[in-house]
């Protein structure tokens, strides 16, 4: 019995000691949440650890230089590039990083998707100046009035900015949207646009002949998928950021003298009188995607809502005028000239909705100077707003039409070349032409004017060659020619245009040309 009691006591002691020791042992760690491949939405997606949401990161790094332009992707136009003098940059350089984030989650209502795309850029400073007599010249400085309150003069003389630009640069938000159950909400490519937006085969941004919201537009859209590659979309899209080409009050242009001459040599034929937003642009689109290519038809309605005839509410205002645009786009793939070769073309007509032809990055105002054999220099100064009006009248729409397209040929797996072209025409109505050019019109008193017509055409042709020596690394060289065909004629006197250092002299009203080249290296990831 004594032995039995001793044995039981020893066992109890061992259990107590063992329990104390077990309490001191480390607890086994939970399994590590490793990143897992998500194969539901294609290559590059991974599950966010601990969730059922898949994410994909992407982007590119780009280094490039544009020759003969102040705009990285634009033509020689406006101030100072259109001056064609010592104020114009001979080159403009840029380094850019793009980052995009794509997330998707499967739900009982379908996939919930968010997409964000931003760019971080460093670009050559835009040169501005009027000559040393007016305060000096500088890069990326601000213009102000001198003490007399009349002559533009430069303030400051720093270079981009005072620290040499080491902390400068710019950030751009291209896309930021949610997609769910067929709806798209946020900043995305317009439903009106062709799938290639501004780029049927080119790199340059400023092609006319169609719509192109390459940096996205705020929208609320619904897309219906009917199967067999057939889709349709209906969209309400923000008009204010990209789609207002202008509503000009022609009455602000002086009836004679310097004001009228300025209208001919700067394109300022009226004061812009856009009012606040009242309605978004309304868009409808039908698309057919097949193995042979793509066909798309788009229509849009644009509300032209303007302010007042004068400075106060008591002066009254014109009524709203709805404009519209229609576009057809066609892509043909697998053509006999080679594997991967493609033809992309589109055509557009607008009536009071100019930005669907002269898209935002091309603009609808052209100011270019050139040489002349009969005057100091020549100039073309034209613009295409959405509507024009005079005090006491209703708005009159500007009508435009245009097209653009490209053919891309793949020489082999590493080289391809594209040739592209674009064209756009702007036509003013009879009311505007009579007010500007008719008997007793604004321009009728301008000495030396032999032909008066605010209509104009833009023609563009370009060639680009790309070399991709390894996957996702491409080097490209692109040449672009843009021709401005304006309809005014004559040799007219004009005052000094200090923003581009042009003196008071006689200028010939004449067609103008722009020649630019874009060289780029880009690594996608």
Q: Is the bond preceding residue 80 a cis peptide, omega within 30 degrees?
A: yes
Per the domain annotation, does 49 fall within a domain?
Answer: no
Give 84-121 as a 3 state SS string: CCCCCCCEEEEEEEEEEEEEEEEECCEEEEEEEEEEEE
DSSP bridge pairs for 67: 91, 517
Measured at the alpha carbon of residue 345, what is the angle toward residues 342 and 350, in degrees to the nearest 5? 165
Per the domain annotation, does 51 fall within a domain?
Answer: no
- Two structure tokens written together for 470: 């390894």
Class of residue 317 by CB neighbours under 10 A (exposed 0-12, middle 13-18, buried 19+): middle
Per the domain annotation, does 409 fall within a domain?
Answer: yes
311 C-beta neighbours (distance < 10 Å), count: 8
Per the domain annotation, does 490 fall within a domain?
Answer: yes
Per the domain annotation, does 422 fall within a domain?
Answer: yes
Q: What CATH code is carried by the domain that includes residue 185?
A: 2.40.160
**Residue pair 427/242 in contact by the 8 Å Cβ criterion:** no
Strand ranges inside 43-90, DSSP E: 46-47, 53-67
Note down pLDDT in tens along the chain; length 525 residues. 454 454 445 544 544 444 544 455 555 555 556 789 999 999 999 999 989 999 999 999 999 999 998 888 899 998 889 999 888 888 999 999 999 999 999 999 899 999 999 999 988 876 655 555 545 555 543 333 233 333 333 333 334 444 445 556 788 999 999 999 999 999 999 999 999 999 999 999 999 999 999 999 999 999 999 999 999 999 999 999 899 999 999 998 864 456 678 888 888 898 898 999 999 999 999 999 999 999 999 999 999 999 999 989 999 999 999 999 999 999 999 899 989 999 999 999 999 999 999 999 999 999 999 999 999 999 999 999 999 999 999 999 999 999 999 999 999 999 999 999 999 999 999 999 999 999 988 998 889 999 999 999 999 999 999 999 999 999 999 999 999 999 999 999 987 777 788 899 999 999 999 999 999 999 999
Q: What is the pLDDT of residue 4?
A: 47
Q: What is the pTM of this model?
A: 0.87
Class of residue 48 by CB neighbours under 10 A (exposed 0-12, middle 13-18, buried 19+): middle
Which residue is associated with the tokens 């009691």? 5
Q: How far apart are CA 190 and CA 237, in angstroms?
A: 7
Per the domain annotation, does 517 fall within a domain?
Answer: yes
Per the domain annotation, does 446 fall within a domain?
Answer: yes
Q: How far apart are CA 453 and CA 488, in angstroms?
A: 6
Query: What is the radius of gyration, based on Cα positions, of the chain?
Result: 31
Length, in residues, of the chain = 525
DSSP conformation class of 29 = P
Question: What Å distances lie between residue 327 and 210, 301, 347, 356, 410, CA to CA?
Answer: 8, 12, 6, 9, 28
Per the domain annotation, does 513 fall within a domain?
Answer: yes
Q: Which domain holds residue 333?
A: 169-524
Task: Indicate the number of domains in the chain.
Answer: 1
Question: Helices then strands (H, E): number in the chain?
Answer: 3, 30
Q: What is the pLDDT of residue 261?
A: 81
288 C-beta neighbours (distance < 10 Å), count: 15
Nearest of 373, 363, 149, 131 to residue 267 by alpha carbon: 363
Which residue is associated with the tokens 């002691």? 13
């Amino acid at each position: 019995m004594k032995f039995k009691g001793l044995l039981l006591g020893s066992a109890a002691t061992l259990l107590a000691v063992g329990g104390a020791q077990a309490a001191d042992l480390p607890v086994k760690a939970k399994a590590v949440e490793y990143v897992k491949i998500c194969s539901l939405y294609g290559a590059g997606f991974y599950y966010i650890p601990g969730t059922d949401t898949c994410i994909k990161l992407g982007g590119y790094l780009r280094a490039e230089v544009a020759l003969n332009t102040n705009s990285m992707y634009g033509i020689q136009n406006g101030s100072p590039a259109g001056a064609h003098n010592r104020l114009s940059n001979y080159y403009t350089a840029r380094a850019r990083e793009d980052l995009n984030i794509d997330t998707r989650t499967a739900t009982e209502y379908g996939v919930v998707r968010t997409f964000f795309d931003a760019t971080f850029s460093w670009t050559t400073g835009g040169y501005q100046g009027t000559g040393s007599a007016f305060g000096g010249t500088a890069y990326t400085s601000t213009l102000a009035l001198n003490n007399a309150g009349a002559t533009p003069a430069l303030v400051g003389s720093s270079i981009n900015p005072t620290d040499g630009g080491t902390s400068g640069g710019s950030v751009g938000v291209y896309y930021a949207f949610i997609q769910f159950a067929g709806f798209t909400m946020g900043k995305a490519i317009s439903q009106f646009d062709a799938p290639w937006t501004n780029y049927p085969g080119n790199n340059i941004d400023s092609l006319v002949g169609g719509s192109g919201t390459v940096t996205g537009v705020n929208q609320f859209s619904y897309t219906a998928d009917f199967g067999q590659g057939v889709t349709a979309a209906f969209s309400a899209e923000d008009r204010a950021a990209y789609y207002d080409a202008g509503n000009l009050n022609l009455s602000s242009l002086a009836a004679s003298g310097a004001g009228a001459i300025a209208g001919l040599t700067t394109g300022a034929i009226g004061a812009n009188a856009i009012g606040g937003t009242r309605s978004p642009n309304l868009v409808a689109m039908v698309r057919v995607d097949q193995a042979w290519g793509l066909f798309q038809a788009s229509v849009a309605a644009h509300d032209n809502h303007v302010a007042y005839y004068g400075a106060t509410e008591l002066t009254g205002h014109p009524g709203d005028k709805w404009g519209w645009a229609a576009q057809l786009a066609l892509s043909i793939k697998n053509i006999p000239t080679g594997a991967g070769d493609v033809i992309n073309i589109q055509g557009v007509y607008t009536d009071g909705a100019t930005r669907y032809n002269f898209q935002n990055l091309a603009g609808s105002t052209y100011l270019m100077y050139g040489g002349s054999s009969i005057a100091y220099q020549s100039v073309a100064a034209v613009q295409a707003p959405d509507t024009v009006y005079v005090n006491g009248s209703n708005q009159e729409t500007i009508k435009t039409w245009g097209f653009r397209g490209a053919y891309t040929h793949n020489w082999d797996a590493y080289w391809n070349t594209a040739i592209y072209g674009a064209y756009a025409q702007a036509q003013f109505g009879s009311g505007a032409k009579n007010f500007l050019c008719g008997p007793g019109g604004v321009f009728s008193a301008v000495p030396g004017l032999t032909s008066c017509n605010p209509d104009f055409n833009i023609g563009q042709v370009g060639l680009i060659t790309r070399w991709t020596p390894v996957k996702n690394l491409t080097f490209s060289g692109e040449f672009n020619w843009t021709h401005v065909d304006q309809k005014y004629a004559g040799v007219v006197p004009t005052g000094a245009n200090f923003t581009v250092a042009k003196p008071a002299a006689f200028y010939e009203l004449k067609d103008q040309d722009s020649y630019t080249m874009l060289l780029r290296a880009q690594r996608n990831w």
